[in-house]
Structure 1
């Protein structure tokens, strides 16, 4: 896995020895380098600018994708739900977390849990319907065998 933050070679093709970097691999590297990512702390508004200042070679699209994965994670949203302070890259305290942002995190988590519960219920309902159909078919086969004229 390539953990380099450097962009691909000038010809646009990734090198033959290293696969193209992914957002997840970049996120892992950010978690190793920065306390705010490692400890899943609420990130300061504008953390992308801090990242670019600290590592100007970082690919912006990749960085935004990694930030999206991180800030959309259940662990991060749970931290945001209860947080009062945001943190900079180095782990130092930054601005306050607003009630609006805490509510957004809570609402996002509730919506995910609701969708997951609906998905599981649909799976259970489908399994129950499949079992009922199997039993019905079995019963029909038993009746057919019982009343068949070919005895």
Structure 2
């Protein structure tokens, strides 16, 4: 949960405090405001400083946490793997994506896919084990009921 700091509006005598939001909710706000987030474009180096300057209502630590989540997501890595340019908040080019950065993104995509495949296989194995246990319990119940009906 992210807590926003109070925003003092100089000269107005007003202080407003935004409600607590999660990093994902902060990302929704950023996505609604900036197309670079919606389109998963490679972000300019130092974009955190731009966001902090433009959004004093959010703590710098919370903006960086939201950026971390965004830049470690599969759609972001997919775009990084094929991109040549980085973009600022205004959507203008703001630097380049190096070959090393594209290679890193490709490695991350493979790692995410490997982990997802492992998780899927583990879930399938767990489901098989659950079904086998269910079948075993049914057979056991059948045996119990069979022998219950035969008093010797």
TM-score with structure 2 length normalisation? 0.75
Structural RMSD (CA): 2.7
Aligned length: 141
Structure 2: runs of 5 or more not aligned: 9-15
| Counterpart Cα distance in 2 of 1:70 and 1:92 | 19
TM-score with structure 1 length normalisation? 0.75
The answer (yes or no) to whether the contact 1:85–1:95 under 8 Å persists in 2 is yes
What are the residue-to-residue correspondences of 1:97-112 with 2, within 5 Å?
Answer: 97-112=97-112
What are the residue-to-residue correspondences of 1:1-150 with 2, within 5 Å?
Answer: 7-8=5-6, 15=17, 18-55=18-55, 58-146=58-146, 149-150=150-151
> Secondary structure at the residue paired with 2:86?
strand
Structure 1: runs of 5 or more not aligned: 1-5
The Cα of 1:80 is off from its aligned counterpart by 0.8
Structure 1 residues 139, 86: CA separation in 2 closer, same or farther (over 3 Å shift)?
A: same
> Secondary structure at the residue paired with 2:118?
helix
